[in-house]
Structure 1
Amino acid sequence: MNPTRISRRSALGLLGLTAAGVSTAFAAQPKPKRILLRSSWQTINIGDIAHTPGVLRLLAEYLPDTEVTLWPSKIDNGVDKLLLANFPKLRIAQGKQQLSAAFEDCDFLLHGSGASLVAERDVRRWSDETQKPYGIYGITFPPKSSSSTVPRSEKAVMESVRILNGAQFVYFRDSRSLAFAQEKGCKTPIMQFGPDGAFACDLRDDDKADAFMKKHGLETGKFLCCIPRLRYTPSWIYKKTAVDPAKHVRNEEMKEHDHAPLRDAIVEVIRTTDMKVLICPEDQTQMQIGKEMLLDKLPADVLTRVVWRPNYWLTGEAVSTYIRSAGLFGNEMHSPIMCIGHGVPAVVCRWKEQTTKGYMWEDIGLGDWLFDMDDPASVGKIVPTVVEIAKDPAQAQQKAVAAQKRVEKLQAESMAVLKRELAKS
């Protein structure tokens, strides 16, 4: 008898055993949990871009077996390709059919970091249509939006509280938001301070950063970054819509006041240290602001060591530049966040038109690097603080790293909570 030949009955028996073995093996493997991440609010601001890859990085690190689908608001300007290049397993739900499939397949909705409960309607829709759990990760909960000149109505605030109360957890990115939510009756089972997802953003574009620095004579550790900003983002510039008169008037009224301390800091850094200064943007409107309010008003003797970036950049190139700098100062929030996420010193200047997000600097131990542009005493401390960072970058970095470690500890704790809640779903 041919030893390689078996009977039909024997073959069927072996096939049955094999099938049973395969079936048993598959049965032993639990179905991976699936998260629908509601994030990616816009792409004209590298900070808004950074929210999503920050949270994706945390999910990949702490829940590596979880499948993630992104539900974006806007993902143009090449950001989709950027995310997929860094997170090749990521699914992106765009269009009704893909979103419907995500609602069916996903076990948990995670609302990403933002200036508020940005996608409140979408969270409500998820809850109403699926009855599946959801969580809120790293938001500000403000009495008013940073893009509005008037407070939110009490009805609108209470509706947000209702949605928050239905969550498994809510992490507020500043403790003042947490206090405001509690004041309004928020009683989510887990309700804590939790860092903005952008702290974990690690997108890189080293080649572009290196090329830009080489072109402009910037050396690693030998320059500071400075970011300008008006009180209200002049979004009509990139949206090509009518100018908002109230916001424009306020911007014009305060732009000299809000940039004079930054100019003074640039001058003192150049004149008292060997550092250079890079004036760079966080959003698409800030290149011109930097030229008008900073570069063009600097004295001639400091201009040889000041570099102005005339064009917008994406998050990867920005991060790769920030981590090569000795620190950052200015009127923005998320570039400082990304700096501290990598242990790079960062100073934040804020004003009353903004939400309470800036106070997260107090929450992570950097209160003396937070300045109130509406308080003359606070404004007076900006220049000496920036100069101190330039003169002793090693000590400043130690302070930044301590804040970074605090953030990382909180990130680990929040991801453990998400993992536990996901296991229940």
Structure 2
Amino acid sequence: MLNRRNFLEALVAAGLVSQLGWRSADTDEIAPSRAGAAAKRGPRILLRSSWQTVNIGDVAHTPGVLALIEEHIPDAEVQLWPSSIADGVEEMLRARFPNLTVIDRTAAGIRAAFAYNDFLLHGSGPYLVAADDVARWRAETGKPYGVYGITLGDPDQKTLDILNDAKFVFFRDTVSMNNALDKGLNQPVPTVRFGPDGAFATDLADTPAADAFLRANGLETGTFLCCIPRYRVTPYWEIYNREPTESEKASDAYNQRMKEQDHAPLRAAITAVVRQTDMKILICPEDRSQVRLGKEILLDKLPADVKPQVVWRDSFWSLDEARSTYLRSAGLFGHEMHSPIMCVGSEIPAVVCRWRQQTTKGFMWRDIGLGDWLFDMDDEGSRAGIAPAVLAIAKNPAAAKAKTQAALAYVRQRQRATMAKVAKEARLGIPA
């Protein structure tokens, strides 16, 4: 019997889809719905997103999806159902999206949001983060829902049941997509596709703060690269200033054991750029723990002749200031995912260095045509390629920019296609 995976492989062999997230197939471009055209009002979308605020990557998911809805479904009314929008995030979102409603997360508030909205959209994340909430929406309302831009490991049956009843499931990396299909995802082909992480569309900015920081540190637009360090396991005990559990102590020991191997290639890249070009380096964080780590494992271990051309950011920052700083850089490299995503979303080159603990999300770089800028820190040969790749960006910014623009063109094509599907299904959810 021809199973779903074999069927997809047959399509690939026939040239009907591409090997990178079905890149050549545009059949999922959705025409405007007749039902939507006749509706007296736009769709009401309940966005389940905003998972945490201790790193700017998790913050970036929500404004990215909101910006996509604003662009592609301009008549939609969006209500946000967040897990956390503390630390100034709510104010930042409201400043950019003044019409956004954040729901009351009491039991009564959630019931009211369920009654009011037509469609639930689960935003980008490392897995089906709010599976229980999606299941509750499904059980209590019977209204449609969809999943936008997630990574997924091996799904359990509960997750598969939720995904199989969704109107669409868009994966932010095709490794996740193909694994889900192998494990029992049984959606029709047009509704299961590569859908870029929502953070590609994030457009929050704090230009004055970024410019002030750059002036204070002698950095000029286009003359520096950003570098982000990272522990293998996020040290939440450090971020939240609490004693680690026994399990976390084991994670910390692993972090300490791996940090030299993981950061020596970044130091090599910094050294090569400083010694062979006029570029400077900014060491900066995506989460709070990376501030201290950047000084300890990168800055303090650099050669004496290199250090004067390297700036270490000694405090955490907000998403809007970070993105505005990235926009003034010539590129970014390091061990995080969402700062590179935001860079490429604004035509700034970015190198991603990943390891097995980071799920399969990094493989999205292959999916969008940037496989040459994706490195495996668990492979010695791959690690050796980081410094040459970063140096090439520094030496030939124009070529790096062109490569980034080509990747972004594909991302935007997928955004148009996936948001057309969101629009169609959300409009069909409007009561007659």
Shorter-chain TM-score above 0.5: yes
1:264 aligns with 2:277: no
The within-5 A match list for 1:6-405 is 30-96=40-106, 97-143=108-154, 157-189=156-188, 190-243=191-244, 244-405=248-409
In 2, Cα distance between equivalents of 1:29 and 1:361: 39
Structure showing greater radius of gyration is: 1
Match of 2:315, SS state, is coil
- What secondary structure is seen at the aligned counterpart in 2 of 1:294? helix
Secondary structure of the corresponding residue to residue 65 of structure 1: coil
Deviation, structure 1 residue 99: 2.1
Residue type of the alignment partner of 1:44: V
1:404 is displaced (CA, Å) by: 0.8
Supply the distance in 2 between the matched residues of 1:367 and 1:31 (Cα, whole angstroms).
43
3-state DSSP class of the match of 1:301? coil
Which structure ranks higher in relative contact order (CA pairs < 8 Å, sequence separation ≥ 6)? 2
Where 1:109 maps in the other structure, the secondary structure is: strand
CA distance in 2 between counterparts of 1:37 and 1:289 reads 34
Measure the CA separation in 2 of the matches of 1:256 and 1:321: 27
Q: Which amino acid aligns with 2:303?
A: P
Deviation at 1:29, TM superposition (A): 7.1
Post-superposition Cα deviations, 1:367-415, rounded to whole Å, max 9, x if no partner, equal 0100000111111110011000000011101001111111011000001
**Structure 1 residue 296 displacement after superposition:** 0.5
TM-score, length-scaled by structure 2: 0.88
- Which shifted more, 220-229 or 240-249? 240-249
Cα deviation, residue 422, structure 1 = 1.4
2:380 & 2:374 partners in 1: Cα distance? 13
Distance in 2, matches of 1:247 and 1:161, equals 30
Q: Deviations along 1:318-349, whole A, 9 cap, x unmatched?
A: 11000110000001000000000001000000
Whole-angstrom CA distance in 2 between matches of 1:92 and 1:131: 22
CA 29–118 in structure 1, closer or farther in 2 if over 3 Å, else same: closer
How many residues are paired up?
Answer: 386
Q: Which digits, 9 at most, give the CA deviation of each residue in 1:218-249, with x for residues without a partner?
A: 00000000000010000111223332022111
Q: Which blocks of at least 5 consecutive residues in structure 1 are unaligned? A: 1-27, 144-155
Q: Secondary structure at the match of 1:300?
A: coil
1:18 alignment partner in structure 2:
none
Q: Separation in 2 of the partners of 1:95 and 1:50?
A: 21
The secondary structure found in structure 1 opposite 2:356 is coil
Equivalent AA in structure 2 for residue 354 of structure 1: Q
Alignment-mate amino acid for residue 134 of structure 1: Y
How far did 1:98 drift? 2.6
Cα-to-partner distance string for 1:189-209 (whole Å, 9 max, x where unaligned): 311111000000000000000
Instruction: Kindly indicate whether the alpha-carbon contact (under 8 Å) linking 2:333 and 2:352 is maintained by their aligned counterparts in 1.
Output: yes
Q: Is the 8 A contact 1:158 1:184 kept in 2?
A: no
AA of the residue aligned to 2:181: Q
Cα deviation per residue 1:132-168 (whole Å; 9 max; x = unaligned)?
A: 000000000013xxxxxxxxxxxx6221111111100
- 3-state DSSP of counterpart to 1:83: helix
Matched position secondary structure for 2:392: helix
Question: Quick check: 1:32–1:66 contact (8 Å CA) kept in 2?
Answer: yes
Deviates more, 1:182-191 or 1:382-391: 182-191
The answer to whether the 8 A contact 1:35-1:69 is kept is yes
Give the superposed CA RMSD: 1.0
**CA separation in 2, counterparts of 1:29 and 1:225?**
48
Q: 1:77 to 1:363 in 2, by over 3 A?
A: same
Partner of 2:47: helix, strand, or coil?
Answer: strand
Distance 2:325 2:186 in 1: 42
Q: In the aligned structure 1, how far is the partner of 2:209 from the partner of 2:109?
A: 34
2:42–2:427: 8 Å Cα contact kept in structure 1? no
